[in-house]
Amino acid sequence: MELNEEQQKAAELELRRCLPRSLKIYGFLVLRNRVKSDPYVVLVDRWPGFSVIICKPKYEQKSDLFKDTMVFAKDEVLLMETIRKTSVIDWSRYLCLGISLPHMEIIKSAASERNVPSYKLSICHMMILDDASKLPAIDCSGIRLNSLDESHIDLVNQTWKFSKNQEAVRMIRNMVTNFPSCCVMDAEGKPVSWMLTYVSCALGMLYTLPEHRGKGYAKVLISSMAKKLIGQGYPVFCFIEEENKVSYKLFKSMGFSEDPSYREAWFGFNHL
């Protein structure tokens, strides 16, 4: 069934009791229940007392296919039963789906039953800042900080590793216009380093132009964004790809920690 606004607020409280494993969907609802953004549908296997919750974008145009569908489940059997229902997932078009790594095998099995091809996009550590006091002292003197705006969307799109042509622009526009962001500006007022917030409330898209690296901008942005999110009552976390040792070390140095046994996975189904 689809949750209405009041039920989504109640679901947020229920997911809080399942932290940290439910953090991605919890973060999504924390943002959604407070900030207007692009439309999503929130589905559960039953209400109240749900065991499976699915957050998927409403497809209004082709570029919406690039947005993540997010899933959290307490029960593997109920997850399979829910995913098998034809009304839950449209297997006829491209799907980018994120879920815990063990549960991804269930999703892939359901796709295989329909002869839907799947491929790995990323396997990630889930890094969490559970206490603001763990942030190290960062010297921001002489650094000009600001939020991103719509004039910066193309720049972010061009530098994001997962972007393909213009397919991610609509998603990035939603992030820039509705969610917290931070950037370092040069003397001409142009961004040279930036960080955004995904629809799940996870920090991401951290990037510094090559000619401005080695100046400590990433640490400044992480510290600034963490404080901004904490100040607004949001959780502070991010996903780091397993092979990205540099970013993993960076976030560890900034006070973030993880459950070493947990991984979040993103897979694509069909092709864009």
pLDDT in tens, 178-237: 999 999 999 999 999 999 999 999 999 999 999 999 999 999 999 999 999 999 999 999
Judge if 204 and 118 occupy the same domain. Answer: no
Judge if 43 and 111 occupy the same domain. Answer: yes
Judge if 101 and 54 occupy the same domain. Answer: yes
Q: How many domains does the chain have?
A: 2
Judge if 122 and 149 occupy the same domain. Answer: no
Judge if 19 and 66 occupy the same domain. Answer: yes
| Structural domain boundaries, residue 104 | 5-126+262-269
**CA angle in degrees (0–180, nearest 5) for 19-172-25:** 15
Judge if 114 and 20 occupy the same domain. Answer: yes
User: What's the whole-number average pLDDT of the chain?
Assistant: 94
pLDDT tens for residues 21-80? Answer: 999 999 999 999 999 888 899 999 999 999 999 999 988 777 777 789 999 999 999 999
Judge if 81 and 177 occupy the same domain. Answer: no
pLDDT score of 59? 81
pLDDT score of 161? 87
Q: What is the CATH number of the domain that holds 165?
A: 3.40.630.30
pLDDT at 165 over 80: no
> pTM of the full predicted structure?
0.94
Judge if 108 and 157 occupy the same domain. Answer: no
Residues listed for the chain: 272
Partners of 146 in beta bridges: 183
Judge if 240 and 197 occupy the same domain. Answer: yes
CA distance 111 to 97: 12
* Arithmetic mean of pLDDT, 83-112: 92
